[in-house]
Structure 1
């Protein structure tokens, strides 16, 4: 089964060995950009994600020689595991695809990458949009800085992130008054969020990736439900 066929197949019907196949694509420097985009997107699904795939996605994020679209996709693909670990906790270790230590290591890696001035802005926005799914203290200052930056795209990212971090009621209300339909409402499904409705077409076009998908809002696979980690098979 190739990557394109895999993308059109429900995750619970993926064959054994899918996780290993995705890992090989992510680690191979010869993988084309289009295949990297597919592999990075699919690797975040809770039916296959594990510590090796998390590290492979982080490795792509760290590499300045990788295309911005691929690095951004890698960040957004970490959303399901971030939300799952943050909401489920670690009392039942058998229900989680990564350990608590690996989860905190992932959070710290995202924080460092976001604060690295050498990382391209597009990638840093995706990191912020993904990492707020498991909120930490540093997110509040990052969101405030993005909101007050004067840059329209950064403000859009900030307003989106306010959904997940407390203390931004005033700014959220301001954004709602400025433009009804700003991304304060969305369609949550399987740990990801659909695109905000009512967003002006021109503004949306500037914020979305070249492939026309709402990467910032986790919209690539928002219509699929992510089954519990218990449904994973050890072979994947």
Structure 2
């Protein structure tokens, strides 16, 4: 139930970002909100473990649609660098607050109401967010030159799926387990092939060194922040795997 959400969320994020570039990020964000809200209702109404797992997979797909689209909408709404930096700072602070408060509030909901309340509480927030997005958030135009490049996207999905499976299974199966080693090797092969295919051709614009450094720094900070948040949640006192 936990690993399935993580798997779908991680491996679909790049593809969902490309879908937002191609068809519009507000459309992608609204679709993600609807999918996540419907999946939350399905989680709360589940009567078997398999129904709950399937709904959690759907939740992961909704989250993968929302996260890259939300950043793209912020970028479009705040064109000035200073205002955009503040907006991204608020976005990061709210995300960090949610990641820290979620386990605590979820634990209280399970203890005081039932485990279904953890999922059902998402429904009013999802409906409110959908209405506010539809009414208040402008729709930036899709990127004119955006292409899905589906084979490359599928390679990226395969690489992220294999890596996520290996990281999830390494702690329980052991890092020398054949499945874990196979997933790590598959992730390296698919990721390397994807990186080669994504290299710009001679007639395509290449990012500057400053842009590459900025992207690398932002990705590193994001990785460390999320790693710290997840590690804190997993190793919290009283938490059992």
Structure 2 length as normaliser, TM-score? Answer: 0.27
Larger RCO (CA under 8 A, 6+ residues apart): 2
**Greater helix share, 1 or 2?**
2
Structure 1 length as normaliser, TM-score? Answer: 0.28
Query: Larger Rg: 1 or 2?
Result: 2
